[in-house]
Chains A and B, each alone.
Chain A
Amino acid sequence: MSDRSAAPSRPRGIDPRGPRFAAGITSLLLLVAAFLGLTGLSTSSDLATATVAERFLDPGFLLLLVIALLFLWAVVSPRTAPWGVLYRTLIAPRLGKPTELEDPRPPRFAQGVGLFVVGIGLVLHLFGVPWALPIAAALAFVAAFLNAAFGLCLGCQLYLLLQRVGLVGRERPAAA
């Protein structure tokens, strides 16, 4: 026997391999960004004396900015985000049908977390904080790689943690 209250207006499920494919590409980009960050301005002693424009034109910054915009795209409009489109047009037709569909909200939430982490790194870098770029890229890489390679959903766990401190989710009276 199984009980569950009917979920109101659940969005249509998506192929769970889509977000994992996108996470794979994202983790590769983040690895390159971490490398550029490590070898670029972020870890050099010239950072303090560089102008904001010079910090902006650092290759590590530019690549991380592109990644941040891709995160933003996936949060605002997940259906048109490039890696998702690439997966649906090129990869999915070559694979079998997915055995089960997934709620599209968790991957979307995770993209928001990625945008947040990468965004902090970008802002700190512009303010001249050393190591901000490679550290932000490395943190986002860990989450993206765990998702792509192991299917572990750090976003889910973070959501629950935030909820326990009362930042997200509405609290209803006990009559649930």
Chain B
Amino acid sequence: MTFVSALIGLALLLTATVAVGVFMQWRQGRPSRHIVHEVVQPQRLGAESIGEFATLLQFSTELCARCPGVHRTLAAIAADHEGVRHLDVDLTNRPDIAKHFHVLQTPTTLVLDGAGVVRTRFGGVPSRDVLELELNRLTGENANV
């Protein structure tokens, strides 16, 4: 292969990689609401109960660089909000749970309402502001009832 076509090949490789990176980063931390609204039973995840108004259900693994940071963020949010609970489930030894919730990346965070229904899903690192917004939406609904 000639020098020039090899350089063109590398340029294409670099461009494609940057495009993939930008796309993945854009998709990270965006909430998706068009999901199956199933009811989560906390006992199956090893927790006694869920939050009164909302639950931040985080899935982690041992080999996950961003999970501890998300854990701290979610724990802080839960501490700031009355009736909001944070559950962190380690999937390292629980492929059954990973399969059930179709978790293909960690961290994945589900926002449950007071009845345990999955309302919103975040793949990757959720931004704190968006999470606060989701929680306000849920507690707002609750106040209207």
Question: Which A residues form the contact surface with B (CB < 8 A)?
Answer: 1-5, 7, 16, 31, 34-35, 38-39, 43-44, 100, 102-103, 105-107, 109, 134, 138, 141-142, 145-146, 149-150, 152-153, 155-157, 159-161, 163-164, 166, 169-172, 174, 176
What 4 new A-B contacts, CB under 8 Å, besides A3-B47, A156-B63?
Answer: A156-B61, A156-B66, A160-B98, A164-B99
> In the assembled complex, which residues on chain A have CB atoms less than 8 Å from the CB atom of B79?
1-2
Chain B CB within 10 Å, residue with most, of A107, A142, A160, A166: A160
* Cβ contacts B1-28/A at 8 Å (1 or 0 each): 1110111011001101110111011000
Pairs A–B under 8 Å by Cβ, sample size 27: A3-B87, A5-B46, A5-B90, A7-B90, A16-B65, A31-B10, A31-B13, A35-B10, A39-B3, A102-B65, A102-B68, A103-B64, A105-B63, A106-B63, A107-B65, A109-B63, A134-B9, A145-B21, A152-B25, A156-B65, A156-B105, A161-B104, A164-B98, A169-B95, A170-B93, A171-B95, A174-B44
> In the assembled complex, which residues on chain B have CB atoms less than 8 Å from the CB atom of A153?
64-66
> In the assembled complex, which residues on chain B have CB atoms less than 8 Å from the CB atom of A105?
62-63
CB–CB A159/B74 < 8 A:
no
Residue of B with least CB distance to A175: B46
Q: Which of A102, A138, A157, A163 contacts B105 (CB 8 A)?
A: A157
Would A160 and B62 be within 8 Å (CB), given that A2-B78, A35-B6 are in contact? no
* Cβ contacts B47-90/A at 8 Å (1 or 0 each): 10001000000000111111011011011001100001111101
> In the assembled complex, which residues on chain B have CB atoms less than 8 Å from the CB atom of A100?
68-69, 72
CB–CB A171/B93 < 8 A:
yes
CB–CB B25/A156 < 8 A:
no
CB–CB A1/B105 < 8 A:
no
- Interchain CA distance A129-B86 in the complex, whole Å: 52
> In the assembled complex, which residues on chain B have CB atoms less than 8 Å from the CB atom of A2?
71, 74-75, 78-79, 85-86, 88
Least CB distance from A125 to B in Å reads 15
- Interchain CA distance A7-B63 in the complex, whole Å: 12
Would A152 and B21 be within 8 Å (CB), given that A1-B79, A100-B69, A105-B62 are in contact? yes
Q: Which of B63, B74, B88, B96 contacts A103 (CB 8 A)?
A: B63
Least CB distance from A167 to B in Å reads 10
> In the assembled complex, which residues on chain A have CB atoms less than 8 Å from the CB atom of B22?
150
> In the assembled complex, which residues on chain A have CB atoms less than 8 Å from the CB atom of B14?
31, 145
* Cβ contacts B85-111/A at 8 Å (1 or 0 each): 111101111111011000111100000
Least CB distance from B100 to A in Å reads 11
Least CB distance from B125 to A in Å reads 9
Would A1 and B85 be within 8 Å (CB), given that A35-B6, A160-B61, A171-B95 are in contact? yes
Q: Which of B10, B92, B104 contacts A34 (CB 8 A)?
A: B10
Least CB distance from A72 to B in Å reads 19
Q: Which of A4, A38, A103 contacts B9 (CB 8 A)?
A: A38
